[in-house]
Chain A
Amino acid sequence: MNKKEKESWVIHLFFGITSLLMILPLLLVLIASLTDEQSILANGYSFFPEKFSLDAYHYLFILDPGVIFRSYGVTIIVTVVGTIVSLLLTAMLAYPLSRTTLPFRNAFAFFVFFTLLFNGGLVSWYLVYARFIDLRDTVWALIIPGLLLNGFNVLIMRTFFTTTIPPTMIEAAHIDGAGEARIFAQFVVPLSKPVFATIGLFNTIAYWNDWYNSLVFLSRAKFFSLQYMLNMSLLNIQFLSQNSQNTNAASLMQSTPQETMRMAMAIIGIGPILLAYPFFQKYFVKGLTIGAIKG
Chain B
Amino acid sequence: MKKRYISTLFASMMMVSLALSACSGNTNNSPDNTGAAQGNNPDETAGGLKPYHLVMAFPGSTPKDLDAVNEAMSKYLQEKINATIELRPIDWGAWNDKTNLMFASQEPFDVIWTSSWQGLGQQVAKGQIIPVDDLINSYGKDIKQIIDPEVVEGGKINGKIYGVVTNKEFASTRGIVMRKDLVEKYGIDTSTLKELKDFTPVFEKIKAGEAGMTPIEAEANNSPLTQMLQYDGLGDGPGGVVRGTTDLKVVNMVATPEYMDLAKLMNEWYKAGFINKDAPTRNDGVANAVKAGKAFSYAVSMKPGIELQESRNTGMPMVAVELTQPFMTTGDTTSSMLAIPTTSSDPERAMMFINLLYTDKYLINLLNWGIEGTHYTKVSDNIIDYPQGVTSANSGYNLNQSWMFGNQMNTYLWKQEDPDLWSKYKTFNESAEKSPALGFVFAPDSVKNEITAVNNVSQQFSPVIVTGAVDPAVTIPDYLKKLEAAGVDKIIAEKQRQLDEWAKTNK
Whether the pair B91, A236 counts as a contact (CB closer than 8 A) is yes
What residues of chain A lie closer than 8 Å to B98, measured between beta carbons?
Answer: 215-216, 219
Residues on A lying within 8 angstroms of B by beta carbon are 38, 41-42, 59, 63-64, 66-67, 106-107, 110, 114, 118, 120-124, 126-127, 130-131, 134, 215-216, 219-221, 231-232, 234-236, 238-248, 250-255
Task: Return the chain A residue nearest B282 by Cβ.
Answer: A241
Whether the pair B393, A239 counts as a contact (CB closer than 8 A) is no
Q: Can you name 27 A-B residue pairings with CB atoms under 8 Å?
A: A41-B289, A41-B291, A67-B64, A107-B4, A107-B7, A110-B8, A118-B16, A123-B101, A123-B104, A127-B22, A127-B105, A130-B107, A215-B98, A219-B90, A221-B62, A221-B66, A231-B93, A232-B61, A234-B93, A235-B91, A235-B93, A236-B91, A241-B285, A244-B222, A247-B172, A248-B335, A248-B404
Contacts A123-B105, A126-B101; A232 near B23 (Cβ below 8 A): no
Residue interface mask B6-28, A partner, CB < 8 A = 1: 01100110011001001100100
Answer yes or no: B303 CB below 8 A from chain A CBs: yes
Q: Interface with A: B145-153, B395-403, B423-431, which one?
A: B395-403
Whether the pair B394, A64 counts as a contact (CB closer than 8 A) is yes
Answer yes or no: B84 CB below 8 A from chain A CBs: no
Residues on B lying within 8 angstroms of A by beta carbon are 4, 7-8, 11-12, 15-16, 19, 22-23, 26, 32, 34, 61-62, 64, 66, 88, 90-95, 97-98, 101, 104-107, 117, 172, 221-222, 226-227, 283-289, 291-294, 300-303, 306, 309, 312-313, 335-336, 392-394, 398, 400-401, 403-404
Whether the pair B105, A131 counts as a contact (CB closer than 8 A) is yes
Whether the pair A247, B302 counts as a contact (CB closer than 8 A) is yes
Whether the pair B284, A255 counts as a contact (CB closer than 8 A) is no
Given the complex of chains A and B, what is the CA–CA distance between A59 and B91 in angstroms? 21
Whether the pair B93, A124 counts as a contact (CB closer than 8 A) is no
Whether the pair B92, A239 counts as a contact (CB closer than 8 A) is yes
Whether the pair A215, B94 counts as a contact (CB closer than 8 A) is yes
Given the complex of chains A and B, what is the CA–CA distance between A238 and B34 in angstroms? 34
Whether the pair B93, A245 counts as a contact (CB closer than 8 A) is no
The residue from A38, A127, A232, A241 contacting B292, defined by CB atoms under 8 A apart: A38
What residues of chain A lie closer than 8 Å to B26, measured between beta carbons?
Answer: 123, 127
Whether the pair B313, A254 counts as a contact (CB closer than 8 A) is yes
Whether the pair B93, A107 counts as a contact (CB closer than 8 A) is no
Nearest CB in chain B: distance from A266 CB, A: 16
Nearest CB in chain B: distance from A99 CB, A: 18
Whether the pair B101, A246 counts as a contact (CB closer than 8 A) is no
Secondary structure dominating the interface of A: helix
What residues of chain A lie closer than 8 Å to B227, measured between beta carbons?
Answer: 245
Given the complex of chains A and B, what is the CA–CA distance between A87 and B101 in angstroms? 30
The residue from A38, A66, A106, A248 contacting B4, defined by CB atoms under 8 A apart: A106
Whether the pair B15, A124 counts as a contact (CB closer than 8 A) is no
Whether the pair B34, A134 counts as a contact (CB closer than 8 A) is yes
Nearest CB in chain B: distance from A198 CB, A: 29
Whether the pair A107, B172 counts as a contact (CB closer than 8 A) is no
The residue from A63, A114, A124, A238 contacting B393, defined by CB atoms under 8 A apart: A63
Nearest CB in chain B: distance from A213 CB, A: 12
Whether the pair B403, A248 counts as a contact (CB closer than 8 A) is yes
What residues of chain B lie closer than 8 Å to A231, measured between beta carbons?
Answer: 93
Given the complex of chains A and B, what is the CA–CA distance between A231 and B105 in angstroms? 24
The residue from A66, A242, A253 contacting B283, defined by CB atoms under 8 A apart: A242
Whether the pair B16, A240 counts as a contact (CB closer than 8 A) is no
Whether the pair B97, A216 counts as a contact (CB closer than 8 A) is yes
Whether the pair B88, A219 counts as a contact (CB closer than 8 A) is yes
Whether the pair B285, A41 counts as a contact (CB closer than 8 A) is no
Whether the pair B117, A246 counts as a contact (CB closer than 8 A) is yes
Whether the pair B62, A220 counts as a contact (CB closer than 8 A) is yes
What residues of chain A lie closer than 8 Å to B309, measured between beta carbons?
Answer: 247, 250-251
Contacts A41-B292, A238-B93; A107 near B336 (Cβ below 8 A): no
Given the complex of chains A and B, what is the CA–CA distance between A147 and B285 in angstroms? 37
Task: Return the chain B residue nearest A239 by Cβ.
Answer: B92
Nearest CB in chain B: distance from A278 CB, A: 34
Known pairs A238-B93, A247-B301; list 10 more (Cβ under 8 Å).
A114-B12, A120-B22, A131-B34, A134-B34, A215-B97, A221-B62, A235-B91, A245-B221, A251-B313, A255-B398
What residues of chain B lie closer than 8 Å to A215, measured between beta carbons?
Answer: 94, 97-98
Task: Return the chain B residue nearest A216 by Cβ.
Answer: B101
Nearest CB in chain B: distance from A129 CB, A: 10
Whether the pair B12, A232 counts as a contact (CB closer than 8 A) is no
What residues of chain B lie closer than 8 Å to A131, measured between beta carbons?
Answer: 32, 34, 105-106
The residue in A106, A231, A240, A251 that gathers the most chain B C-beta atoms within 10 A of its C-beta is A251
The residue from B104, B106, B285, B303 contacting A247, defined by CB atoms under 8 A apart: B303
